[in-house]
Structure 1
Amino acid sequence: MIGNTEQKQLIKTARITGVWYLMMAISGILGFMVFHSQIFVSGNPEQTLTNLVELESTARIRLLFEFAIVISQALTAVWFYKLFKDSYELEAWTLGIWGMVNALAIMISAISIASAIGVANSDISVMEDKVVLIQVFQNIISNAWGIGGLFFGLWLFPMGYIVIKSKRMPVWLGRVIILGGIGYLITTFIRYAGIDFSYNRFLILPATIGEFWMIGYLLMFGIRPSNE
């Protein structure tokens, strides 16, 4: 009876984890993949400055989605720790802490977006000064996400390890997640080593598959009973 109660509580925790994870995915897709390119034009700070002034409302929506990513990432990390701490305490701590580092990396991006909006709509009269500052903020945003790829990958390792060792989720889910983590690390190193590799983005495809698989499993099934 006690075991059934504990399992029901774990399933509830797993599904809440899935909700936070889904929120993170949705806010990331909308913020980074939909709204970001409408405002921030790579290699063109002048156009970006124009967009920040003429499309200020859209820019602020982009910023709010960045807030949503930070909050949902932090909550996902906390709930993963809560889900796994009783059986795999060290790995759960590692997963939670590295997940929080992800949130901090994205918060740096959010700070830069807010600063860019502020500078673009400020009373600075010299246009060249504004353009230079916007370019700096664009680079910070890009590199916060780019170098953040290190921990976007690292936090998948304890997640995948727990799945494989516990067998409370599909073992292949854990393997795909770990493969995705490796892909993130390799992609980040290739990018910042200055290597021109046209297929670099495909290296994180296993991470995308694994994370959406994890979200779906958490929401639909939660977590299997322990075999111990």
Structure 2
Amino acid sequence: MPSLIRTARWTGGAYLALALLGGLGFLLVRPLATEALGYAQLGIALELGVVITQSLAAVGFFALYREDRPVAAYAVAAFGMGNALAVLGSAAMLTAALAISLDPATATTPDAAPLLRVVADAFWTVGAVFFGLWLVPMGWFAITTGRMPRILGWILVAGGAGYVVNAVLSAALPGTAGVAADLIVIPATVGELWMVGYLLIRGIRRAPASRPKPLVAPAPAA
């Protein structure tokens, strides 16, 4: 049990770092990346930080879940790595755009750098499918094992489904999703913050004791 607590704590630490780097990079630095070289470089560094922390968190959840729910463990790890690869693709596009901005002679078309930034944004849009999917087995573990609050599990499952729907609408119907699509990802935010706090503070519960089978008296002889 102490080893699982340690695993839960460093998984929570990686998840917290993922949230901080993702929020700082995508919400604050990314919109300014086209205005100054320093912001563009910082944005790339933060996205690579997201890739690293997302990968560490995925491995941590795998280690935490594999004994009780191996399928959920593999699913969380696979979907988490899928999201990391999507962000890695975005970072690669931004790196290429930065290289072209520093040396325009390398561009094949005049609009190459802006186009690469658009593709980078698209990686985040479609990659949100994986970020939604990884919350579902994460929550299912909490629901079915009793090692975490079941209500937390249901919030994560609902949030993950909302994230997937939001990603599909944002990709297939850009500009038409509106406020309703943004509202359906609120459970995901609540569930993720709760999960981070639970992992860092509580860790994980002991496995519920199995109930002994009732003794059945032998039937009387006829």
Residue-by-residue CA offset, 1:52-82 (whole Å, 9 max, x unaligned): xxx2122111111001000000000001000
Tell me how far 1:222 sits from its aligned partner. Answer: 0.2
Tell me how far 1:135 sits from its aligned partner. Answer: 2.4
TM-score of the aligned structures, taking structure 1 as reference length: 0.87
Matched, 1:185 2:179: no
Whether the 8 Å contact between 2:30 and 2:39 is mirrored in structure 1 is no
1:34 counterpart (28, 36, 50):
28
- Poorly superposed stretches of 4+, deviation over 3 Å: none
Q: 1:9 to 1:125 in 2, by over 3 A?
A: closer
Residue-by-residue CA offset, 1:133-179 (whole Å, 9 max, x unaligned): 12221221111010011111111111010010011111111111011
Using the alignment, how far apart are the partners of 1:169 and 1:75 within structure 2? 21
Letter paired with 1:26: L
Provide the residue aligned with 2:178 in structure 1: 198
Q: 1:219 to 1:125 in 2, by over 3 A?
A: closer
* Residues 7-156 of structure 1: pairs in structure 2 closer than 5 A: 7-39=1-33, 48=34, 51=35, 55-124=36-105, 129-130=109-110, 132-156=111-135
Higher RCO (C-alpha 8 Å, min separation 6): 1
* Structure 1: gaps (5+ residues): 1-6, 40-47
Tell me how far 1:97 sits from its aligned partner. Answer: 1.1
Provide the residue aligned with 2:216 in structure 1: none
Using the alignment, how far apart are the partners of 1:113 and 1:192 within structure 2? 19
Alignment coverage as a number of residue pairs: 207
Whether the 8 Å contact between 2:166 and 2:177 is mirrored in structure 1 is no
Provide the residue aligned with 1:43 in structure 2: none
Q: Which has the larger radius of gyration?
A: 2
Using the alignment, how far apart are the partners of 1:154 and 1:88 within structure 2? 16
Whether the 8 Å contact between 2:159 and 2:188 is mirrored in structure 1 is yes
Q: Which moved more, 1:208-217 or 1:182-191?
A: 182-191
Using the alignment, how far apart are the partners of 2:18 and 2:106 within structure 1? 38
Tell me how far 1:183 sits from its aligned partner. Answer: 0.6
- Percent identity among equivalent residues? 34
Letter paired with 2:26: F
Tell me how far 1:125 sits from its aligned partner. Answer: 8.7
Matched, 1:159 2:159: no
Provide the residue aligned with 2:215 in structure 1: none
1:215 counterpart (196, 199, 205):
196
Give the root-mean-square deviation of aligned CA atoms: 1.6
Tell me how far 1:123 sits from its aligned partner. Answer: 4.1
* Structure 2: gaps (5+ residues): 210-222
Using the alignment, how far apart are the partners of 1:34 and 1:70 within structure 2? 18
TM-score of the aligned structures, taking structure 2 as reference length: 0.89
Tell me how far 1:16 sits from its aligned partner. Answer: 0.5
Using the alignment, how far apart are the partners of 1:28 and 1:14 within structure 2? 21
Residue-by-residue CA offset, 1:203-223 (whole Å, 9 max, x unaligned): 211111111110000000000
Using the alignment, how far apart are the partners of 2:172 and 2:57 within structure 1? 31
